[in-house]
Amino acid sequence: MALRDSPSSCPALWRWLRCPPAELRLDLVLASGQSFRWRQSSPGAWTGVLAERVWTLRQERGRLWYTVYGEDGPGPETDRILRDYFQLDVRLPALYRAWGAADPLFCRTAAAFPGVRVLRQDPAECLLTFICTSNNHVARITAMIERLCRAFGRRLCSLDQRPFHAFPSLAALAGSDAEAKLRALGFGYRARFVSGAAKAIAEGMGTAGLCRLRDAPYAEARRALCALPGVGDKVADCVCLMALDKAEAVPVDTHVWRIARQRYGAALGARSLTARVYQEIGDFFRELWGPYAGWAQAVLFCADLRKGRDGGSRARRGRSQASRGAGCS
């Protein structure tokens, strides 16, 4: 089956783009809380939904291999979709060098985390997804988005008896019974915001107007997003950075606030992440890292997230070993 085949053994089913690890590390980017629609389907292989297609991606010898499930299969159009999604026209090693020259702390962290780049996502999907991230963690958000897509999205295909669905349309999430269905799916208070934002966009700027924010100045795009239900500064900056081409947007959550305080001494006197402190931290990093500050932040966020996971795994192993030791005594 295609999920288990290596690219070299199935040349007719797979295409590739030249992409060395310094430009992209799938294992870092797809598990770093930017998108929640990818899972590691086998060692080194990632399967997920992009542009209403189901894909499997893997890297091998400086190439990004991929296959697409469906009648059309991979081709020049899917090359374009993938290049756009990973923004492969942005030369990442040059940015790493510039950030490292401006910031020795970044240089020390980034050495172990090459190839972390920012995805260019569908604006509506990105917005409605990140409304679900408030007071949440990656594993739970991933499960919520899976339930959302299964309940409201169009079924695309099934692999190993696992169904894959497209992200729901605005119309589906703006329906009169959408909020109640979302609450039944475990979305809690977020149900009102997801349904409300979908309805506000559908009845207001529309998906076309949301996409046109890519051409608007950063401050204008941010203001427009913050006018939507459930959208505050952090969600707006996530969407600006990951869907609206605002590379200077720096989403500040508890991870980034801790990094700013502990490693850079920024906003040390602040006891809470107020709107003023949020702006201060974003401005600090924009001045330090320049016009692609949001991309640099993504590297440090990924490193902090991975360190937290590794630390949690070590703690769980330690507790398990202690438990086994206690049982043997």
Measured CA to CA, the distance from residue 289 to residue 296 in angstroms comes to 7
Domain extent, residue 16, equals 7-110
Q: Is 234 a catalytic residue?
A: yes
> 201 and 261 in one domain?
no
DSSP result, 172-206: HHTSTTHHHHHHHTT-TTHHHHHHHHHHHHHHTTH
> 192 and 152 in one domain?
yes
Give the count of domains, the chain. Answer: 3
Classify residue 165 by burial, with Cβ atoms within 10 Å: 0-12, 13-18, 19+: buried
* pTM summary value: 0.90
Listed as ranges, residues in the chain with pLDDT below 50 are 1-11, 312-329
pLDDT in tens, 215-266: 999 999 999 999 999 999 999 999 999 999 999 999 999 889 999 999 999 8
Does residue 317 sit within a domain? no
Distances (CA, A) of 59 to 20, 67, 94, 275: 8, 12, 21, 41
Does residue 283 sit within a domain? yes
> 149 and 132 in one domain?
yes
pLDDT in tens, 176-192: 999 999 999 999 999 99
Measured CA to CA, the distance from residue 199 to residue 207 in angstroms comes to 11
Given the residues 181, 234, 246, 307, the one annotated as active site: 234
